[in-house]
Amino acid sequence: MSLHYLPPVKPSAIALGLIFNQTTELAILSPLFGQTYQRAKTSNTKEEFLRSKEATSAAVAWGTSFLGSALQSYGVGALINATGTLSYKGAAYLGALIFAASNAPTFFNEILIEKRPLETVGVSVVAKVLETVGLSMFLTWWGTRTNPFEYSNPSHGTPLSRNAFRSE
């Protein structure tokens, strides 16, 4: 597989999207880090804390969240570029579509089958809407294209509207 099939996204957009996602994830993971902080205060030595279950689980949670946020930022930026989205309205639609495709089935399962409390599911829904709709609008504001003038000519259309068999 060649890397030229992957659409380019501005590295600063990926970095800022990572920070945006980590900020919203902190609201979800803060109870885990609170327990870790309490364990660090009660442990006698630094080595004892580093070998504890809380430190290991916090490190794994943060590492997977960090990697997932970076991949999600790249994916949303690539979709913005591939669809030629330039407006906030288009970004909101794109983010809502990402939310509906990736997270909505989980929330319906939690409410209808698992019978979880609506408050718990509601907090997760708000966080995931921020991570999808909010991220796509934030990245649209910041800009994701490595060459911002590439699709500024209306006669060229978006990358998805181009015919691969026609030379331009």
Let me know if residue 163 belongs to a domain. Answer: no
Let me know if residue 152 belongs to a domain. Answer: no
Residue 66 CA to residue 144 CA, distance in Å, equals 20
Token digits for 79? 């979709």
How many domains, the chain? 1
Query: In sequence order, what DSSP letters do the residues of 16-32 get, joined into one string?
Result: HHHHHHHHHHHHHHHHH
Let me know if residue 24 belongs to a domain. Answer: yes
- pLDDT tens string, the chain, 168 residues long: the values are 566 778 889 999 999 999 999 888 776 656 655 555 555 556 555 666 566 666 777 778 778 889 999 999 999 999 999 998 999 999 999 999 999 999 999 999 999 999 999 888 888 888 889 899 999 999 999 999 887 666 555 555 555 555 545 454
Let me know if residue 44 belongs to a domain. Answer: yes
Residue-level pLDDT at 100: 96
Residue-level pLDDT at 12: 95
Let me know if residue 58 belongs to a domain. Answer: yes
Token digits for 34? 């609170």
- Based on the number of CB atoms within 10 Å of its own CB, is 87 exposed (0-12), middle (13-18) or buried (19 or more)? exposed
User: What is the pTM (predicted TM-score) of this model?
Assistant: 0.74
Which domain covers residue 94, as residue numbers? 9-145
Let me know if residue 162 belongs to a domain. Answer: no
Token digits for 123? 């907090």
Residue-level pLDDT at 7: 85
Let me know if residue 31 belongs to a domain. Answer: yes
Residue-level pLDDT at 106: 93
Residue 99 CA to residue 15 CA, distance in Å, equals 21
Residue 95 CA to residue 136 CA, distance in Å, equals 6
